[in-house]
Amino acid sequence: MMFPKGFFVGILLLSSLCLPLRAQVGEAVAGEREADNSSGEIVSDTTSDRLPVELGGVEEVTVVADSSGDASSANVHSPPPFDTASKKEEYPRYTLDEYRYAKAPRYTLTGDLPYRDTHVRPVPAVLTGLGVAGIVAAIHIYQQNAWWSDRREPFHFTVDWGYAAQADKFGHFFAGYMSSYTGYEALVSSGFSPDVAGWMGPLIGLSFQTYVEIEDGFSPFGFDPTDQYANTIGPLFFGLQHYFPDLQNFKFKWSYFPNDEYQGGVRSGHDEIIVDDYNGQTIWFSTKVANLLPESIAWPKWLRLAFGYGTYNVDRINERNEVLVPGRRYFISLDYDLVEMLPDLGDFGNWLLQTADYLHWPAPALQLAPEVKFYLAWPVHF
């Protein structure tokens, strides 16, 4: 199994839930602010007007001017500062210059910059939690019906390192990586600080992957320790990227296009399910070249370089019923940073771009093996 069965069903559900969820979160936050307005007042010991001065998006300094116009004295507040527009006490947040990924802007599902310290927002947390729980439940139902029901066996182990020429292991890695991203985004949108979400997100990803592998242990697939190694390394790498920002210059991506080039004109996979069509999938190791070169060398920030790994002749026989020997494909390709390349699409639009950037979009590619071959827009080809 390259991905947990139903992985892409979850992605589709996430996309469908995002818009109404974000709208509900926005309404809930607005309601919280209105409620706080009734009780939050700024008390002054003079009859002066307060002139807020914003530093990096957080009102750190308030200048007090008396009726004569003398603004010589300044009162520097320690956090949390006051939002004078709504008279609501607000917690310090990251600034736009601070909340970045590989030196590019980073966005949240709700459009708000994250808190510096964890301050759980109850309503957004509940709504986001329900959304994630719904996705997990949908994936479980799909997998249960497609793979686990009527095939229950006593729990057992199996080791299948060579299956699908290791494309399956890369899939487990990437699924854990993306599950961690989903957990991280849900936590930050709920009020958790990035430093806390940086380890809790991978923990959520690992927990989900482990649950799937345990379920496999009760099916003919069996619990495969080598799958679990990949399930662990994916979340681990995602977490390390937060605490060691230089690693953010290296991102894993995924692409798919039906492929029958090497397997006798026959697609692979169980009933042509995308997640099991290993011959059509490519896992990419994408590098942000601009951040790795000296500043004296001009390289577009939006243009990346990616190295791809794919397979052929997996899980199928050709028309002459000859067993095809699985093989590996290696690529080098141009790649894009969607956040750097495309114009500002607003808070939610930018978050969608950020999420879509984990896919490798069609780009010129050179296949290095099993034969040297150029593709104008891999993975699309005819």
Summarize pLDDT for 164-176 with one digit per residue, the tens.
899 999 999 999 9
Whole-number percent of the chain with pLDDT over 90: 56
Q: Which residues contact 228 (CB under 8 A, 6 or more apart)?
A: 209, 210, 213
User: Which pLDDT score, from 0 to 100, does residue 269 have?
Assistant: 47
- Give the whole-angstrom CA distance, residue 33 versus residue 9: 36
Token pair belonging to 82: 């006051």
- What is the average pLDDT across 218-222? 89
User: Which pLDDT score, from 0 to 100, does residue 326 have?
Assistant: 85
Over residues 242-263, the pLDDT tens digits come to 999 999 999 999 999 987 766 5
User: Which pLDDT score, from 0 to 100, does residue 104 have?
Assistant: 97
- Give the whole-angstrom CA distance, residue 142 versus residue 7: 9
Helix (H, G, I), strand (E, B) or coil at 312: strand
- Give the whole-angstrom CA distance, residue 150 versus residue 144: 9
- What is the average pLDDT across 301-324? 81
User: Which pLDDT score, from 0 to 100, does residue 372 have?
Assistant: 98
- What is the average pLDDT across 81-98? 69
- What is the average pLDDT across 306-320? 79
Give me the chain's average pLDDT, please: 80
User: Which pLDDT score, from 0 to 100, does residue 22 have?
Assistant: 53
User: Which pLDDT score, from 0 to 100, does residue 272 have?
Assistant: 56
User: Which pLDDT score, from 0 to 100, does residue 263 have?
Assistant: 56
Whole-number percent of the chain with pLDDT over 70: 71
Q: 151, 208 in Cβ contact below 8 A?
A: no
- Strands of 74-76's sheet, edge to edge? 49-55, 58-65, 74-76
Q: 238, 181 in Cβ contact below 8 A?
A: yes
CA distances 322 to 3, 260, 313, 317, 319, Å, are 28, 15, 11, 6, 8
Model confidence at 380: pLDDT above 70: yes
| Res. 88 pLDDT band, cuts 50 70 90 | low
Q: Is the pLDDT higher at 19 or at 208? A: 208
Model confidence at 82: pLDDT above 60: no
User: Which pLDDT score, from 0 to 100, does residue 148 have?
Assistant: 78
Model confidence at 56: pLDDT above 90: no
Q: Among 28-37, 70-79, 121-130, 369-378, which stretch is predicted with the lowest mean pLDDT?
A: 70-79
Over residues 12-40, the pLDDT tens digits come to 444 444 544 455 545 554 554 454 444 44
Q: Which residues contact 24 (CB under 8 A, 6 or more apart)?
A: 127
- What is the average pLDDT across 175-204? 97
Over residues 133-185, the pLDDT tens digits come to 888 888 888 777 777 777 789 999 999 898 889 999 999 999 999 999 999 99
| Res. 208 pLDDT band, cuts 50 70 90 | very high
- Give the whole-angstrom CA distance, residue 139 versus residue 7: 7
Q: Is the pLDDT higher at 356 or at 68? A: 356
- Strands of 281-287's sheet, edge to edge? 250-256, 281-287, 303-312, 327-336, 363-369, 373-378
User: Which pLDDT score, from 0 to 100, does residue 317 have?
Assistant: 53
Q: Is the pLDDT higher at 337 or at 85? A: 337
Q: Is the pLDDT higher at 141 or at 1? A: 141
